[in-house]
Amino acid sequence: MLSENMKAIRKSRGLSQEELAVKLNVVRQTISKWEQGLSVPDSDMLISISEVLETSVSTLLGETVIESRVDDLKVISEKLEIINLQLAQRKTTRRKTFHWLLLSLCAVIVIISAVLIALNSPYLGWNYSDPETAIAGVVFHAFEWLFIRLTPIILIGAIVGVILTRKKV
């Protein structure tokens, strides 16, 4: 009975033989022998076992103990709680990353806009009779044209994204 009860209680507490052995300052093989009924602990060790397993000596020596489903549910709920915390942390990290990416996008848009305003479309005064200059001028003009038309939409979207992803207090 002792061997069966000890094994059932140890498992219900979520302890391995090794973990129980460490707590009792014995080797794992000793725990294995006790649980197989090949040997029995002395009275002092029996008291130590009952303290580590948080049960009474009479329970260890008494009738067969059935592994508790409540303990299984407790272990499962603890694992679920850990998973939920990890998911919440991952969600917070993603939100922060997205927030800073949107802020960076806003900064890049402002910098490019400032550069374009400062340059004041210098390609308009270029000599377009040279083919290489003509291609470069068309590329610059196409970039500026697209940038000026798309920037307000992108900037507004990025600002809304920054507002929506800010840390809520």
Q: Is residue 85 part of a domain?
A: no
pLDDT at 2: 80
| Residue 56 shares a structural domain with residue 104 | no
In total, how many domains does the chain have?
2
DSSP 15: -
Q: What is the mean pLDDT of the chain?
A: 87
Q: Is residue 143 part of a domain?
A: yes
DSSP string of 78-140?
Answer: HHHHHHHHHHHHHHHHHHHHHHHHHHHHHHHHHHHHHHHHHHT-GGGGS-TTSHHHHHHHHHH
| Domain interval for residue 18 | 2-67
Q: Is residue 76 part of a domain?
A: no
Which CATH number fits the domain that encloses residue 42?
1.10.260.40
Q: Is residue 95 part of a domain?
A: yes
Question: pLDDT of 46-64, one tens digit each?
Answer: 888 988 988 888 888 875 5
| Residue 98 shares a structural domain with residue 60 | no
pTM above 0.75, yes or no: no
| Residue 57 shares a structural domain with residue 101 | no
Q: Is residue 72 part of a domain?
A: no
| Residue 53 shares a structural domain with residue 106 | no
pLDDT at 167: 78
